[in-house]
Chains A and B, each alone.
Chain A
Amino acid sequence: MEFVNESQEKIKSDLLTVNMGPQHPATHGVLRVEIKTDSEIVSEAIPHIGYLHRCMEKHSENLDYRGVIPFTDRMDYLAAMSMEWGYSLAVEKMLGTEVPERAEYLRVIIGELQRIASHLLFYGVYAIDLGAFSPFLYAFQDREEILRLFEEISGARLLYNYIWIGGVWNDVDDDQLRRISKFCDKMEENMKKYHSLVGMNKIFRERTANVGVVNEKMAYQYGATGAVLRGSGVKWDLRKDRTYGIYDKFDFDVPVGTGEMGTLGDCWDRYDVRVREVFESIKIIRQALEGIEAGPIMGKVSKIIKPPKGEIYMRTECPRGELGYHLVSDGKAKPYRLKVKSSCFTHVSMLGELGKGQMIADFVATIGSIDIVLGEVDR
């Protein structure tokens, strides 16, 4: 008897389905990615979301306009100040409220500090994703200082409820402003050090350069915003191009990807854009600290907020990209509809195309580089 395997010529290669997440440490929250693997190579990646869905939009229809702010905090819990700011701007624009000068300056200072804190977290967690542990500790050491400051100013560490409709909740004293200025000096030095520790490292460069390339066309097609869009070489920043608040008073650059380590729009470019944004934020904070003057911090807002009938779409530049609030009012004390356009949601949808043909380890680097927060994706 002959044992001849007739099908030896064409060995069946079946795809193995692996679930990455929802408790995977590299998926930054509760994202589940269904990966069809061909040995080590991802042949298909399907992101599944919805594990952190908390009905924020529906909840807000049953709350008064002030009560929505704590809920907006809980969307992007790593950049809660930016979330509040966008919502407050939307309601203020509907009401036609004038925000006092000092409150506007405080918002810029706090918002940029929040951006630094968020980017520091990205820096630390991204290094962990790629196998370096100590940068995470350094980043958190500095982030802790920002959070401590926020706690003193607003009373909470992560979910602040600080930026209110018409102004800000609490005033900042001179001592705290001096501390912010001192922190900026320290941060500038530290960030240069951190960048040479991780960003210039050969191993890190090999892991991120030419990986997860988002070219300009793809970024436009998916509607990418924020650092993902800027990493692809598009100079688009709402703070500059569609100015809100008092950002037109400040002089700062918009960092874009250069492709100096590999292809334009790869993971390294997105990392680099975020690191350079920290320096720009420091620049803005310094100018704001010079310009800030004493004055009231709360504008005139009636006790029960009732915006006139109509709708508004307000978008702001958050650390993770563009955040839009579509607010519909029917003239009553509660919002008729509040739709949130989240940047992370659009970025998650890119994962399917980005993941195709990558190694699994590179896929981890790609997820980390687009910097998603699942609280904002699911809302």
Chain B
Amino acid sequence: MSAQKEITFATDDELTFGKWLNNIWVGLSTVLKGMGITFKYIYNVKPVTIEYPEVREELPANSRSRLFNDAENCISCYQCATACPVDCIYITAKRREMDAPALKTSDGTAIKLDLLQYTIDTALCCYCGLCTTVCPTECLTHTTDYEFAQYTLDEMKYDYLATDIRAWRERIVK
């Protein structure tokens, strides 16, 4: 099996002395022009690279990063879990006892369900923002925190009923 195909290379029609000179001129002038543009970038150009660990970039206010649920204002309506395209929000809730004291969210909606579990698998989350837009009490929000690497996948599951989660939120949002 051998390649019998004839290979043709694109060549100029006929290389005259004038063409030869012209080629040299075009080659030199265009390369020098390019070099000129490159040299202009040596001085008077602001560096754009952010030296990450030393300089931390502030993300814009509506940047969609790690989710935060304010569990006290959550009415366990399951709308976020339904809207989520990757099903990364786990909610467990129980009907509130009849004799328990009435609870209200900060915007006045009555809480009729006791929230037992509210976990978001951040490793699975695709940060599309569909869950935050359907939230009726606006307790589920995107924060601008982008540093949440963990050693195991299990640690990426954030339990928003845990006690230390609020401290994390306060560290991010001043």
**Centre residue among B85, B126, B142 by max chain A CB count within 10 A:** B85
Q: What does DSSP make chain B's interface, helix, strand, loop or mixed?
A: loop
Asked if B83 and A67 make an inter-chain contact with CB atoms under 8 angstroms apart, the answer reads yes
**Interface residue? A156 (CB, 8 A):** yes
A-B contacts at CB below 8 angstroms, number? 91
A151-B83 contact given A70-B130, A159-B126, A201-B31, CB 8 Å threshold: no
A residues less than 8 Å from B84 (CB atoms) = 67
Q: Contacting chain A: which of B59-67, B92-100, B108-116?
A: B59-67
Residues in chain B near residue A71, CB distance under 8 A: 85
CA distance A357 to B62 in the complex (A): 52
Q: Are B30 and A201 in contact (CB under 8 A)?
A: yes
Q: Which residues of B contact A161 (CB under 8 A)?
A: 128-130
A293 beta carbon closer than 8 Å to chain B: no
Q: Judge whether A341 is part of the interface by a CB distance below 8 angstroms.
A: no
* A63 pairs with B2, CB closer than 8 A: no
B34 at the interface (CB under 8 A from A): yes
CB closest chain-A residue, reference B63 = A155
- Bound complex: CA A197 to CA B27 (Å): 12
- Whether, in the assembled complex, B174 has its beta carbon less than 8 Å from a beta carbon of chain A, the answer is no
**Which chain B residues numbered 15 to 55 have a C-beta less than 8 Å away from chain A?**
23, 26-27, 30-31, 33-34, 37-38, 41, 48
A64: chain B residues at CB < 8 Å are 83
In the complex, which residues of chain B have a beta carbon less than 8 angstroms from the beta carbon of A209? 10
CA–CA, A141 to B48, complex, Å? Answer: 7
Per-position 1/0 for A349-374, Cβ under 8 A of B:
00000001100000000000000000
Contacts of B63 in A (CB 8 A): 151-152, 155-156
Categorize the interface residue count of chain A: 35 or more
CA distance A138 to B129 in the complex (A): 32
**Cβ B85 vs Cβ A202 within 8 A:** no
Which chain B residue shows the least CB distance to A66?
A: B130
How many angstroms between the C-alpha atoms of A197 and B9 in the bound complex? 26
Q: Is A67 a contact of B5 with CB atoms below 8 Å?
A: no
10 A-B pairs besides A43-B3, A66-B130, A152-B63 with CB distance below 8 A are: A13-B2, A14-B1, A41-B3, A66-B83, A67-B85, A71-B85, A155-B64, A156-B127, A159-B127, A262-B10
> Does B149 sit within 8 A of A, measured CB to CB?
no
**Which residues on the A side are within 8 Å of B3 (C-beta)?**
13, 15, 38, 41, 43
Task: Tell whether, in the assembled complex, residue A70 and residue B30 are in contact, meaning their CB atoms are under 8 Å apart.
Answer: no
Given contacts A69-B128, A202-B26, A356-B5, contact A151 B59 (CB under 8 A): yes
Contact with A along B133-165 (1 / 0, CB 8 A): 100000000100000000000000000000000
Q: B interface vs A, CB < 8 Å?
A: 1-3, 5, 7-8, 10, 23, 26-27, 30-31, 33-34, 37-38, 41, 48, 59-60, 62-64, 83-85, 126-130, 133, 142
- SS of A interface (majority): loop
Q: How far is the CA of A193 from the CA of B34 in the complex (A)?
A: 9
Q: Which of A156-182 contact B (CB under 8 A)?
A: 156, 159, 161, 169-170
Q: Which residues of B contact A12 (CB under 8 A)?
A: 2
Tell me whether B33 and A200 are in contact (CB under 8 A): yes
Closest 3 CB pairs of A and B: A67-B85, A210-B10, A70-B128
Q: How far is the CA of A41 from the CA of B5 in the complex (A)?
A: 10
Nearest CB in chain B to that of A142: its residue:
B48
In the complex, A356 Cα to B7 Cα: how many Å? 9
* A185, CB-defined interface residue at 8 Å: no
Which residue from chain A places its CB closest to the CB of B61 in the assembled complex?
A152
Residues of B within 8 A of A196 (CB): 30, 33-34, 37
